Structure 1
Amino acid sequence: MPNILFAARSESWDEYETPLNAALDATGLPYTLGTDIAPEQVDYIVYAPNSDVQDFTPFTRLKAVLNLWAGVEDVVGNSTLTVPLARMVDEDGLTQGMVEWVTGHTLRHHLGMDAHIVNPDRAWDTTPPPLSADRPVTILGLGTLGQACAHALTALGFPVSGWSRSAKNLPGITTYAGDDGLHDALRDAQIVILLLPDTAATANVINAGTLAVMAPGAMILNPGRGPLIDDDALLAALDSGQISHATLDVFRTEPLPDDHTYWTHPKVTVTPHIASTTRPETAARVIADNIRRAEDGTPLQHVVDRNAGY
């Protein structure tokens, strides 16, 4: 009978206890689930990287760590973690939430909604926006979230290009890969969406050089990770007009400091890291299914590549 330790902030246990028990019950496995299990008795850890568990050495019979978050940058380099680490991939919750945020803000910028919502001069500008077919979109990052967003925007008629560290082949989407393909993917893009993981290879992927190859007046959406953007370079591009607006959901420091320029910049929209989040009901089913797979001797899903960092 597996013993499952829930290791996250105490308020998270209140949200997850009932959904996790329901999802585990549905597997038919006998189990013990709790927040206070002796380390040497723990088989699985349902884990948030901001929990008190940072040293995995005492967990001598541990089989796997099941991350509650999509991002693993705060745990993947932990040298005491030697068992498989699975990241959260939840199509019904986290992925769907990201698709909705990205689609909503893409349409907002595409249609020019801000000028209609805030119009103190009562300007009566009847110039229509272009149709989606005339608005090139580039997505940096073609993992689960990037692919889902790419397919959703393609269905709305946007010509979508995507870039990833390794080559991908996605029907209906023009794909680029590697360092050589980054500028090609961004060239003439009018809306750029960042959905890359936070790794040494992706830090400051949006910089003075990559900003310069986008279409003049391009718009940027970042629901991915704060360190993807060189903040000084982005602010300079906003001030020059090369970038007309940036909608940012993630930042190097969170919450975003009160005195940060992004708060008051007229061409920046700040959202408080709400693009998508783990939903307990759907995430619990992902966790329970992975534990069932491990107990059945089936390979875990969504195992992190420690070398790649995601």
Structure 2
Amino acid sequence: MIRIGFYGHDDDMAAWRRTLATRLPAFEISRLLEPAGQECDVALVWAPPPGALSDCPNLRGIIMQGQGVDHMMHDTTVPRDLPLVRLVDPDMASALSQWALLCALDFWRDGDHYRTAQAEKRWDPRPQRPAAGGRVGILGVGAIGGVIASRFAALGFAVRGYARSPKSIDGIEMFVGADQLNAFAEDLQIVVSVLPLTPDTTGIIDAGFLNRVTPGAFVINGGRGPQIIDDDLLAALDSGHVGGAALDVFATEPLPQTHRYWTHPNVRVWPHVAAQTNAETAADQVAAAIDSIMAGRRPKNQVDWARGY
């Protein structure tokens, strides 16, 4: 009997129980924080409380219900000798790319302007931006960012990709490492971040970065909140150098009600919904990871604890 400790919404636990039932041998799934859950062999979690996994004596591996693993990295009580698996689900890549394109195209075609004009009953056309050649930069071109970059390119944008190590994607101009970050940012009109959160990516979108983008540029963050220096982005928005931002992730979630992002006229706040986990499409990967962990094999998409992703 495989014992799975679950941390997340009860509805999600029911979905995982149903989807894994046809993919695993006998198993039981229990809430991680209850006594049965603490006896788990595998933890299937999203952002459990710090220390929750240190009281699981039988724990053999941890599987995240999403691609981000920063919650685990920040919890120093989690044993670093355990395999940690991130979820790399093509459905999530498609969902996040749809969200990024939605935000970018709404900006590119002046959606905010025309919604305001309609509310005020004004017939107020603006000159159209070019249908091809707009400069888009994707920070992070892994499993998700690579899909986003290719879909922007298919729409006629001139796309740059930024990565930690060399990559090759058809039709994408690549920039690698911190030495090329300034060149990557130069004159961008749309910035999309889907980077993992690591010491190297924390604060990567700061005043220096923002000063290099084209005046009036648009910033989209679907990676992690701490990658943006909030005060620097707000200053750039206030000055008009950055024309707007669509933000799905924040340094503190839920976003505090006193935060200026809520009321800034050029910020669109999304409550971390750009790409939500789908148990139906991710079940094969989770079941394969559980099977590998229980057999003592290295699971696919295992995270390097030292690198942070």
TM-score scaled by length of structure 2: 0.90
Residue aligning to 2:26: 30
Residue 29 of structure 2: SS of its match in structure 1?
strand
How far did 1:291 drift? 1.5
Distance 2:260 2:189 in 1: 24
Residue 166 of structure 1: SS of its match in structure 2?
coil
Contact 2:206 2:232 in 1 (8 A): yes
Residue aligning to 1:104: 102
* Distance change (3 Å), C-alpha of 1:28 and 1:48: closer
Residue 73 of structure 2: SS of its match in structure 1?
coil
Distance 2:37 2:266 in 1: 50
State the identity %.
Answer: 35
CA-to-aligned-CA distance 1:140-182 (integer Å, 9 cap, x gap): 1112221111111112121110112222222221111111111
CA-to-aligned-CA distance 1:199-231 (integer Å, 9 cap, x gap): 221111111111111112111111211111111
Contact 2:245 2:267 in 1 (8 A): yes
Residue 23 of structure 1: SS of its match in structure 2?
helix
Residue 175 of structure 2: SS of its match in structure 1?
strand
Partner amino acid for 1:54?
Answer: A
Residues 1:139 and 2:135 aligned together:
no
Contact 2:4 2:37 in 1 (8 A): no
Deviates more, 1:288-297 or 1:179-188: 288-297
TM-score scaled by length of structure 1: 0.89
Distance 1:173 1:287 in 2: 31
Residues 1:61 and 2:58 aligned together:
yes
Distance 2:160 2:258 in 1: 35
Residues 1:74 and 2:71 aligned together:
yes
Distance 1:53 1:151 in 2: 40
Superposition RMSD on alpha carbons, in Å? 2.2
Residues 170-209 of structure 1 mapped to structure 2, 5 A cutoff: 170-209=169-208
Distance 1:183 1:208 in 2: 12
Contact 2:45 2:65 in 1 (8 A): yes
Residue aligning to 1:3: 3
Residue 253 of structure 1: SS of its match in structure 2?
coil
* Distance change (3 Å), C-alpha of 1:299 and 1:267: same
Partner amino acid for 1:251?
Answer: F
Residue aligning to 2:17: 21
Distance 1:105 1:309 in 2: 28
Residue 211 of structure 2: SS of its match in structure 1?
helix
Contact 1:139 1:163 in 2 (8 A): yes
Residues 1-310 of structure 1 mapped to structure 2, 5 A cutoff: 1-6=1-6, 8-9=7-8, 12-17=9-14, 19-35=15-31, 36=34, 38=36, 41-51=39-49, 54-56=52-54, 58-77=55-74, 78-81=76-79, 82-92=81-91, 94-119=92-117, 120=120, 122-125=122-125, 127-131=127-131, 133-295=132-294, 298-310=297-309
Contact 2:72 2:78 in 1 (8 A): no
Contact 1:195 1:223 in 2 (8 A): yes
Deviates more, 1:101-110 or 1:44-53: 44-53
Contact 2:51 2:77 in 1 (8 A): no
How far did 1:255 drift? 2.0
* Distance change (3 Å), C-alpha of 1:260 and 1:21: closer
Number of residues of Structure 1 aligned to a counterpart in Structure 2 = 303
Distance 2:39 2:295 in 1: 19
Q: Runs of 4+ in structure 1 displaced over 4 angstroms?
A: 36-41, 295-298
Distance 1:55 1:269 in 2: 35
Distance 2:30 2:77 in 1: 25
Distance 1:107 1:38 in 2: 48
* Distance change (3 Å), C-alpha of 1:38 and 1:121: closer
Instruction: Provide structure 1 residue ranges, at least 5 long, that are not aligned to the other structure.
Output: none
